[in-house]
Amino acid sequence: MKYISTRNRNRVYTGAEAIVKGISDDGGLIVPSSFPIIDGAKLDELCEMDYPERAAEVLSMYLDEFTRDELLDYARKAYSRFDGDDPCPLVKVEDGLFMLELWHGPTYAFKDMALTLLPYLMVASKRKLGDTSKTLILVATSGDTGKAALEGFKDVEGTEIIVFYPVKGVSAMQKLQMTTQEGGNVHVAGIKGNFDDAQTAVKAIFTDPDAIAELKKKGIEMSSANSINWGRLAPQIAYYVSAYCDLVTSGEIECGDKINFVVPTGNFGNILAGYYAYRMGIPVGKLIIASNANNILTDFFNTGKYDTNRNFFKTMSPSMDILVSSNLERLLFEVTGRDDAKIRGLYDSLKKYGKFELDLEDADLGIFEAGWADEEDTREAMANFFDLDDYVLDPHTAVAASVYSEYADETQDETTTVIVSTASPYKFACDVYNAVADAHEDDVEKAVNKLMLFTGAECPEGILRLKHLPVRHNNVIAKEDAKRAVFAFVDEEKKD
């Protein structure tokens, strides 16, 4: 399998290069040159497998430089860090409605599905390319990626990781998870600004020729663990395939029946993986994009206008507080018939004017629906699902549940539906407890305890343990100082 850039179809990469580079030299995203197909026979085979085998199988269709055994070894190691036997259980909440719980990994959010595996893929990719440089992972996080990347890369030989998070844009729990991070190769800094400021700062460093040259002198190359990295996206395709298999093997659907997926969406990585699974042949009815009050995607899918000149809202679902959904570029590339010139034009416009417009007539978007939920809708979904289904939703998943309820009411669509559940409710204990119990608790520790008592839902050990850990990372910087901070961290490391 070869890979190409969304901004230049003639710029070709191998899978290993895609994973090591993260982003194309021309600023485009790296995408597979075609979609491998899962036919009926293959789907039958996949149904017989456990999750690590399914993941290895899907990955091997894209990463032919790796043997199936290598990939299986990485998948087994990665998913052994998850609680329970099944890393991503499919839980039935109502007839025809399922939660795909992707948060049983080390940091209790769906990012673990990919970030426990990515370090193995990255280190092996470098080895295959004969690259002996040290890898510097730079991450901008809206909350969950940062912690998951820190856990994935901590003490991985030949790597160094720096995470920037928006100081006021993450939950108390997310912040505590990051500032208490252990490991000899990890650095964390708060940025005064929102997620887009952090992401813009990191993107600027990645494409800064001086920074690249100066790091090279030190034997260091940068790479990204953000959801634009192919090594993040590829493992995510697997759980869409696996959820389909689980519905077949449990007798909920017949092989070949279409199902819907509802995905709480921020940077568009998760739902894009669902789209890729669909393009590989998984029978999908609708892919439903759920946004919070930052509903730029809803507007785009309804009007073709993507305009970042708008208010930015801080919500209870911070991992979706995003105005520039990076992975949308990969979708636009596909739905415009891989028109790289058009993509270049759109993204030039985004850079210059903060907006672009696509004629929806020219784009094949029929598989998608888009909706959004405000804070009140989100609280209501948490309360209702607990009251009616005895199921506790985190605020991100609640956005999806709310959008789905509205969709189902409006369309009367009775297709079997999977809501992609992206975080443990305990990660957002205050907002969840306040919604289900109609309370006003703003102390995280108390909210965790009260949520346990009130709902009886099990709380992950790692969350209970957090309060005993010392804070190790106190840095807070202005967004203009991100580059300086990178070099300070790198030099500090050399002195050790």
Ligand X SMILES: *Cc1c(COP(=O)(O)O)cnc(C)c1O
Residues that bind ligand X (CB under 6 A): 109-111, 144, 227, 264-270, 319-320, 396, 422-423
Residue 464 burial (C-beta neighbours within 10 Å; 0-12, 13-18, 19+): middle
Dihedral sign computed on CA atoms, order 83, 84, 88, 93: negative
**Residue nearer to ligand X on the CB measure, 60 or 326:** 326
CB of 418 to ligand X, least distance (A): 15
Reference 346, options 298, 305, 311; nearest CA is: 305
Does residue 111 carry a catalytic annotation?
Answer: yes
How far apart CA 163 and CA 112 sit, in angstroms, is 16
Reference 288, options 378, 375, 407; nearest CA is: 407
How far apart CA 121 and CA 16 sit, in angstroms, is 8
CB of 72 to ligand X, least distance (A): 25
**Residue nearer to ligand X on the CB measure, 203 or 342:** 203
Active-site residue identified among 2, 77, 111, 258: 111
Region for residue 284 given its phi and psi (left: phi exceeds 0; alpha: psi -120 to 50; beta: otherwise) = beta
Contact 201, 176 (CB under 8 A): no
CB of 105 to ligand X, least distance (A): 11
How far apart CA 108 and CA 463 sit, in angstroms, is 9
**Residue nearer to ligand X on the CB measure, 243 or 490:** 243
How far apart CA 320 and CA 33 sit, in angstroms, is 29
**Residue nearer to ligand X on the CB measure, 422 or 434:** 422
Q: Is 38 helix (H, G, I), strand (E, B) or coil?
A: coil
Strands 305-307 and 417-421: unpaired
- Whole-Å CA distances, 426 to 314, 450, 468: 19, 11, 17
Contact 53, 92 (CB under 8 A): no
CB of 289 to ligand X, least distance (A): 9
**Residue nearer to ligand X on the CB measure, 109 or 485:** 109
How far apart CA 178 and CA 190 sit, in angstroms, is 10
How far apart CA 334 and CA 33 sit, in angstroms, is 10
Write phi, then psi, for 10 (nearest 5 degrees). -90, -5
Instruction: Please count the other Cβ atoms lying within 10 Å of the Cβ belonging to residue 137.
Output: 26
**Residue nearer to ligand X on the CB measure, 195 or 356:** 195
Please count the CA atoms within 13 angstroms of the CA of 21 that sit on its side-chain side: 21
CB of 327 to ligand X, least distance (A): 7
CB of 423 to ligand X, least distance (A): 4
CB of 109 to ligand X, least distance (A): 4
Instruction: Please count the other Cβ atoms lying within 10 Å of the Cβ belonging to residue 157.
Output: 8
CB of 42 to ligand X, least distance (A): 26
**Residue nearer to ligand X on the CB measure, 227 or 336:** 227
Type and span of the H or E element at 290:
strand 284-291
Contacting residues for 457 by C-beta, under 8 A, at least 6 apart: 392, 425, 426, 451
List strand residue ranges (DSSP E) for 33-141, in order. 90-94, 97-101, 134-140
CB of 326 to ligand X, least distance (A): 8
Helices and strands in the chain: count of H runs, count of E runs: 21, 16
**Residue nearer to ligand X on the CB measure, 66 or 300:** 300
Residue showing tokens 């795909």:
100
Instruction: Please count the other Cβ atoms lying within 10 Å of the Cβ belonging to residue 198.
Output: 27
**Residue nearer to ligand X on the CB measure, 180 or 422:** 422
Which residues participate in catalysis according to the annotation? 111
